[in-house]
């Protein structure tokens, strides 16, 4: 049975840094208040950069580190809720900029913050039927486009960025994944056409409780599926939404926080980009070593949830 191997990762962030003090000059908040409730100290906002530019930069870095060229890519998937154009898809724009082969399918996935994990499992299912064994997966957002900067409950949370991975369909590679949806449009949403501006709105307490209940249950289900124990996982890489969620999940799973990678303090919540950005940072810091077990866990608007467990 084929699983996925990650051959290379990449990331790209806007240059402009927005600190908590910057936000405090616009809305009633403070650095201490934001840090104590979210763990976020700063985030990046695009100023002139397009999502296509960030996605292309992240993708090129991932392809370079994987040692592959456009001719090796058989599938191109982009997880995002903030594409540059309504149509063609963000994946098609990426396909064009990278010069990918014409027989390489390209399409977007809209699963909120769980989008990159949806892309991983989609690639695992599709790649064995594609013309080439490698897929390019990108999670990217310009959430500053849909953030109400006068709403202190949301403007402190979100940031912009893109992360990418080149994956390969590999015979016998360990791969365990679970995806799900709990349809709920009142927990986290942005209005559609005819409702402008299409700002993000969130019932923070509902999302918080959803994550604290669903993510530990998801992790246990993945471990049961693999016949493994929580202590056999070297790294837990969660969607970076809130430090208190990471802390709560670790406590409920009875796993030390040291095995949960965290970078939310620097970037805020970049939705579908958080997990690939985290994986790229970990690889760059040589925290990930061959043979280690990695569990990625996500949750987001939909409400969606998903997890993937694999060996590095």
Judge contact between 299 and 292, C-beta under 8 A: no
Q: Are residues 145 and 180 in the same domain?
A: no
Question: What local confidence, expressed as pLDDT, does residue 5 receive?
Answer: 95
Q: What is the pLDDT of residues 265-311, one digit of tens each?
A: 999 999 999 999 999 999 999 999 999 999 999 999 989 999 999 99
CA distance 62 to 98: 12
- Looking at 128, 155, 171, the residue that finishes a domain is 171
| pLDDT-derived band at 195, boundaries 50, 70, 90 | low
Taking residues 97-105, report their average pLDDT: 97
| pLDDT-derived band at 196, boundaries 50, 70, 90 | low
Q: Are residues 118 and 194 in the same domain?
A: no
The verdict on whether 239 is a catalytic residue reads: yes
Is pLDDT at 192 greater than 70 in this prediction?
A: no
Q: Are residues 33 and 68 in the same domain?
A: yes
| Residue 16: how many other CB atoms lie within 10 Å | 14
| Residues in a beta bridge with 107 | 77
**Element containing residue 152 per DSSP (H, E):** helix 152-155
Q: What is the pLDDT of residues 131-190, one digit of tens each?
A: 899 999 999 999 999 999 999 999 999 999 999 999 999 988 999 999 999 988 777 768
| Residue 234: how many other CB atoms lie within 10 Å | 16
CA distance 31 to 14: 21
Catalytic residue among 239, 242, 243, 296: 239
Q: Are residues 140 and 245 in the same domain?
A: no
The verdict on whether 113 is a catalytic residue reads: yes
CA distance 288 to 194: 46
Catalytic residue among 95, 155, 242, 269: 269
Q: What is the pLDDT of residues 29-77, one digit of tens each?
A: 999 999 999 999 999 999 999 999 999 999 999 999 999 999 999 999 9
Judge contact between 121 and 298, C-beta under 8 A: no
Measure the N-to-C terminal CA separation of the chain; round to a whole number of Å.
Answer: 17
Q: Print the domain residue range for 259.
A: 175-311
| Residues in a beta bridge with 108 | 78
Judge contact between 162 and 138, C-beta under 8 A: yes
- Looking at 171, 200, 221, the residue that finishes a domain is 171
Q: What is the pLDDT of residues 102-124, one digit of tens each?
A: 999 999 999 999 999 999 999 99
**Residue for token pair 């994987």:** 66
DSSP SS3 for 146: helix
Residue 132: CA count within 13 A, CB half-sphere: 20
Q: Are residues 134 and 47 in the same domain?
A: yes
Catalytic residue among 76, 92, 104, 113: 113
Pull the structure tokens for residue 56: 């292309």
Supply the mean pLDDT for the chain.
Answer: 95
Asked if omega into 88 is within 30° of 0 (cis), the reply is yes
Q: Are residues 287 and 145 in the same domain?
A: no
Share of the chain above pLDDT 90, in %: 89
Backbone angles phi, psi at 307, to 5 degrees: -150, 150
Q: Are residues 181 and 160 in the same domain?
A: no
Q: Are residues 121 and 235 in the same domain?
A: no
Which CATH number characterizes residue 107's domain?
3.40.47.10
Q: Are residues 163 and 305 in the same domain?
A: no
Q: Are residues 220 and 87 in the same domain?
A: no
Q: Are residues 82 and 166 in the same domain?
A: yes
Question: What local confidence, expressed as pLDDT, does residue 184 receive?
Answer: 81
How many separate domains does the chain show?
A: 2
Pairing type for strands 73-79 and 134-142 reads parallel
- Looking at 155, 171, 187, the residue that finishes a domain is 171
Q: Are residues 187 and 274 in the same domain?
A: yes
Question: What local confidence, expressed as pLDDT, does residue 194 receive?
Answer: 65
């Amino acid at each position: 049975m084929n699983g996925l191997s990650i051959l290379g990762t990449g990331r790209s962030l806007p240059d402009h840094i927005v600190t908590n003090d910057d936000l405090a000059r616009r809305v009633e908040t403070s650095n201490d208040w934001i840090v104590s409730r979210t763990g976020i100290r700063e985030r990046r906002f695009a100023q002139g950069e397009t999502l296509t530019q960030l996605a292309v930069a992240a993708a090129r870095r991932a392809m370079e580190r994987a040692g592959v060229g456009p001719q090796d890519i058989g599938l191109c998937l982009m997880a995002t809720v903030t594409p540059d154009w309504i149509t063609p898809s963000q994946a098609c724009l990426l396909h064009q900029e990278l010069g990918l082969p014409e027989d390489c399918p390209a399409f977007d996935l809209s699963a909120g913050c769980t989008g990159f994990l949806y892309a991983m499992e989609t690639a695992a299912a599709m790649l064995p039927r594609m013309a080439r064994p490698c897929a390019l997966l990108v999670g990217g957002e310009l959430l500053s486009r849909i953030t109400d900067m006068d709403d202190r409950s949301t403007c402190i949370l979100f940031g912009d960025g893109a992360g990418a991975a080149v994956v390969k369909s590999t015979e016998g590679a360990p791969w365990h994944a679970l995806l799900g949806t709990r349809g709920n449009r009142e927990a986290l949403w942005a209005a559609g056409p005819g409702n402008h501006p299409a700002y993000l709105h969130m019932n923070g307490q509902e999302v918080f409780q959803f994550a604290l209940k669903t993510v530990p249950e998801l992790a246990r289900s993945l471990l049961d599926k693999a016949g493994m124990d929580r202590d056999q996982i070297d790294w837990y890489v969660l969607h970076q939404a809130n430090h208190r969620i990471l802390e709560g999940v670790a406590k409920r799973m009875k796993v030390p926080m040291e095995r949960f990678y965290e970078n939310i303090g620097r970037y805020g919540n970049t939705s579908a980009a958080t997990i690939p950005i985290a994986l790229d940072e970990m690889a760059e810091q040589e925290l990930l070593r061959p043979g280690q077990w990695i569990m990625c866990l996500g949750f987001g608007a939909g409400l969606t949830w998903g997890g993937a467990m694999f060996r590095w």
